């Protein structure tokens, strides 16, 4: 999966799961604020990441993710490590 596919996939499942307009998901925007995530929502995020990308995430992983750009970088690294 290349970066463009990662971005397209991410926008689709995040907008569905957290009921936000896809157009609000922009690279430099803050992920937590844009999706209005509370601590319980992060479990849902873990679930949809695993469903769509096939890897598990931990609380530690999210410490380095602030923006959507960070998220795409994180997914890219994880998928590369799995290949």
Angle between helix 41-53 and helix 68-82 axes, rounded to 10 deg:
40
Of 7 and 57, which CB lies nearer to another protein in the complex structure? 57
- Tell me how far, at minimum, the Cβ of 52 lies from another protein, in Å: 14
Structure tokens at 33: 């604020």
The pair of three-digit structure tokens given for residue 67, joined into one six-digit string: 């923006």
DSSP-based three-state secondary structure for 30: strand
Pick the closer one to another protein by CB: 42 or 72: 42
Query: What does the binding site for another protein look like in residue numbers (CB under 8 A)?
Result: 39-40, 42-44, 46-47, 50, 57-59
Q: How far is the CB of 46 from another protein (least distance, A)?
A: 5
């Amino acid at each position: 999966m290349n970066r463009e596919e990662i971005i397209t996939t991410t926008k689709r499942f995040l907008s569905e799961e957290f009921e936000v307009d896809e157009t609000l998901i922009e690279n430099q925007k803050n992920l937590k604020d844009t999706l209005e995530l509370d601590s319980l929502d992060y479990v849902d995020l873990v679930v949809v990441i695993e469903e769509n990308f096939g890897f598990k995430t931990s609380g530690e992983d999210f410490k380095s993710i602030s923006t959507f750009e960070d998220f795409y970088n994180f997914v890219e690294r994880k998928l590369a490590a799995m290949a």
